Amino acid sequence: MKKIIFGIFAIGLLFSCNSKKDGFSIDATIDGEIENGTKVYLKRINEVNQPIDVDTTTVENGKFSFTGKADSLDLQYIFIDKVNGNIPVIIENGTIDISFQKDSLQFAKIEGTLQNDIFSKFLDKSRNFSKRYMSMGQDYEKARSSGDMASQEAIQEELTEFREEAKNFEINFVKENPNALISVMLIERFQQTGEVPENEINAMLDALTPELKKTATAKRIKAFLEKNKATALGSKAPEFSAPTPDGVPLALKDALGKITIIDFWAGWCKPCRAENPNLVRIYDKYKNNGLQILGVSLDKTREEWIGAIAYDSLTWNQVSNLDYFDEIAKMYNVNAIPAMFILDENGVILAKDLRGQELENKIAELLGSNI
């Protein structure tokens, strides 16, 4: 069974406003022949990104409908048997009219309700970003196929600027639309990817309307931020101790340098291993300036841990309980690796989750360029 991706950029709809307090109705009209009796499903997405049925109806004479009462705002999806794609719709009390072509569900026109109207404004702009991204990708492939390095470099620079523009659009959209369900969904993505600092996420969350603060998504973000306070920027890093490869306990307080990177990693983690050469280079460049690294491995076996240290030439301090995502990972709210925390000489967290050039830029800022 093909995995279904429910990405914001992949959705294409148009919306306008209406409201109705005693429940919702979805009335859909299809352009194109679909057999009477064809099943139509209204689904929501569960915690593991899988669709679950909410309601079922059938197509009759090119039309179908759903009715119900929305106790809270929810983004759900309409699926039609033997038709590719789905139609996302925000469920809220009011009359929602949908019209679409059989073979173009992604371009369905949806009219009704305030939330869907705001959603459409976001999607109109995001579709333009998607088109530009695809166009740049095609240009890059042409340049790569022809061996045009100058064009490849120019397009890569353009892509960097494009990603920043797209991110700023989403951030500004959230700030300008604190009454929109899509804003809550964007805030959660910012929190999950780490592309927006936690203090900004907190400010966005605080600015939401009371109705949106009551949504399950907003409550989930709030709970995460509360749990994450212990490792927020400016906080003292939680103290811990674990065995080194020699079996000797090493405490964080005894491993601090002028600047210290706590690196959560594992021998089995491919992104971690891909980042290790960058860490080796940065460590060799700045260790005489006061840089220390403390590797915290989430490996399960000593053999895999020690083997990875040797193979990747990691010469800094290493500790591990050999217990996967153990109490140290939980203490730092680490759910995925690699995860890095940059501390000052007193163990205060200055930055986190930086990799590649961004990590080196931060170390250079804190310890001097050392060029």
Q: What's the rounded mean pLDDT across residues 218-224? A: 90
- Predicted confidence (pLDDT) at residue 344 exceeds the cutoff of 70: yes
For residue range 11-66, list pLDDT tens digits in order. 333 233 344 457 999 999 999 889 999 999 999 988 778 889 999 999 999 999 99
Query: Distance of CA 267 to CAs 241, 252, 301, 340, 359, Å?
Result: 20, 21, 9, 16, 21
* β pairing state of 94-101 and 24-31: parallel
pLDDT of residue 371: 54
Q: Which of 14-28, 30-44, 253-267, 306-320 has the lowest average pLDDT?
A: 14-28
Alpha-carbon gap, residue 371 to 369, rounded angstroms: 5
Q: For residue 266, which phi and psi values (nearest 5 degrees)?
A: -165, 155
Over range 95-120, report the average pLDDT: 88
Which letter does DSSP use for residue 259 in this model?
A: E
Alpha-carbon dihedral of residues 325, 326, 332, 334, nearest 10 degrees?
0
- Are the C-beta atoms of 66 and 81 separated by less than 8 Å? no
For range 312-332, the mean pLDDT: 96
**Does the structure show a pLDDT above 80 at 102?**
yes
Q: At what angle do helices 198-207 and 149-176 cross, to 10 degrees?
A: 40
The tokens for 127 are 């579709």
Whole-number mean pLDDT of the chain? 89
Domain 241-367 listed as CATH 3.40.30.10:
yes
Domain ranges for the chain: 8-116, 147-231, 241-367
What superfamily does domain 8-116 belong to in CATH?
Answer: Carboxypeptidase-like, regulatory domain (2.60.40.1120)
| Phi, psi angles (nearest 5°) of residue 320 | -165, 140
Domain 8-116 matches domain 241-367 at the CATH topology level: no
